[in-house]
């Protein structure tokens, strides 16, 4: 039976502008398209797992504004348990202005808003429900002390964890994250966390192993269009990329992590879960938007028929 998944993390409202190019300083350009949708790394990962049928709960905070109301409705519509989604009075919800160019590449700003008020007490308040979960996902769009507290809570209760260290911080304490089951950075985040170069495959492996030497069990490095790499103390396994024509890469990393959590919670096979997650993320970039690009079980099965 699949383990229940909890996400202790962020939510945002994505404000997406599609453009031909970024304006230079002082320049005004007309952009052809604007869309608004629900996002945030935590909510995205929860949404991806839920779309694939996982039993998901979320611990997060929203502002007392229309964005917050919409975020809660959106999570509930996806079947995500929102019992522990709190509302912070007098504060805005988190927002993420996103700029997508013609090639599908993106630049993103985030304003944490109410996400900054997700505190360790909120984890303690959700403790009894969290103890019913087999896997907890975290990201770095909430206070770092909340992340540390959640890792310690999960370790004390025998719950596996995934930490996506994004946005990365060079001062992330390796001692306080060493109990995570899976650390999932991209190359930029890996370079910052390890203070080592990652311009070649050998450098990437060495950087990942430097984190493993500090006590982290497993590092999964996401490589964008080059797939992913699983690194442990004695193993390196490359996960091949899935070739597609991208329309919008926004949220692809969250699609990968959220779907990996779902597949791993379902059968416990890390490598097979990563292969499936690579397919799921590839499917997401063939469509525009973030959460709306995440496939249902039926849509994903159809994609896999043509890309297996």
CB 205 within 8 A of CB 186: no
Q: Tens of pLDDT along 138-152?
A: 999 999 999 999 999
Give the percent of the chain with pLDDT over 90. 84
Closest CA to 224 of 119, 69, 103, 138: 103
Is 254 known to be catalytic? yes
**Which of 55, 81, 122, 254 is labelled catalytic?**
254
Segment 89-134, tens digit of pLDDT: 999 999 989 898 888 888 888 899 999 999 999 999 999 999 999 9
72-98 pLDDT tens trace: 999 999 999 999 999 999 999 999 898
pTM: 0.92
Residue ranges at the known binding site for ATP: 186, 222-227, 253-254
In order of their start, the domains of the chain are 5-10+40-93+114-306 (3.40.1190.20)
Q: Which residues are annotated as a binding site for substrate?
A: 12-14, 40-44, 141, 254
Binding residue ranges: 12-14, 40-44, 141, 186, 222-227, 248, 250, 253-254, 284, 287, 289, 293
Least confident of 100-114, 159-173, 231-245: 100-114
């Amino acid at each position: 039976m699949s383990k229940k998944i909890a996400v202790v993390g962020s939510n945002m409202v994505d404000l997406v502008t599609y453009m031909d190019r970024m304006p230079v300083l002082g320049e005004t350009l007309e952009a052809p398209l604007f869309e608004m949708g629900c996002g945030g790394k935590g909510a995205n990962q929860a949404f991806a797992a839920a779309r694939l049928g996982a039993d998901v709960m979320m611990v997060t905070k929203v502002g007392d504004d229309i964005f917050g109301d919409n975020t809660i409705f959106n999570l509930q519509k996806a079947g995500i348990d929102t019992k522990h989604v709190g509302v912070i009075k007098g504060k805005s919800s988190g927002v993420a202005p996103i700029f997508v160019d013609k090639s599908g590449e993106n630049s993103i700003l985030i304003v944490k808003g109410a996400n900054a008020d997700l505190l360790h007490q909120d984890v303690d308040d959700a403790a009894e429900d969290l103890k019913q979960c087999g896997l907890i996902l975290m990201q770095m769009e909430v206070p770092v002390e909340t992340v540390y507290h959640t890792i310690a809570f999960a370790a004390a209760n025998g719950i596996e964890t995934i930490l996506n260290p994004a946005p990365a911080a060079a001062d992330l304490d390796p001692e306080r994250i060493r109990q995570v089951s899976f650390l999932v950075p991209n190359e930029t985040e890996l370079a910052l966390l390890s203070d080592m170069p990652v311009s070649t495959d050998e450098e990437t492996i060495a950087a990942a192993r430097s984190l493993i030497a500090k006590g982290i069990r497993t590092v999964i490095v996401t490589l964008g269009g080059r797939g992913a790499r699983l690194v442990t103390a004695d193993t390196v396994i490359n996960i091949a990329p899935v070739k597609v024509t991208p329309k919008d890469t926004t949220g692809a990393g969250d699609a990968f992590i959220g779907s990996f959590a779902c597949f791993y919670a379902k059968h416990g096979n890390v490598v097979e879960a990563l292969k499936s997650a690579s397919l799921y993320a590839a499917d997401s970039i063939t469509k525009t938007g973030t959460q709306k690009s995440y496939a249902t079980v039926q849509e994903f099965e159809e994609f896999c028929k043509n890309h297996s």
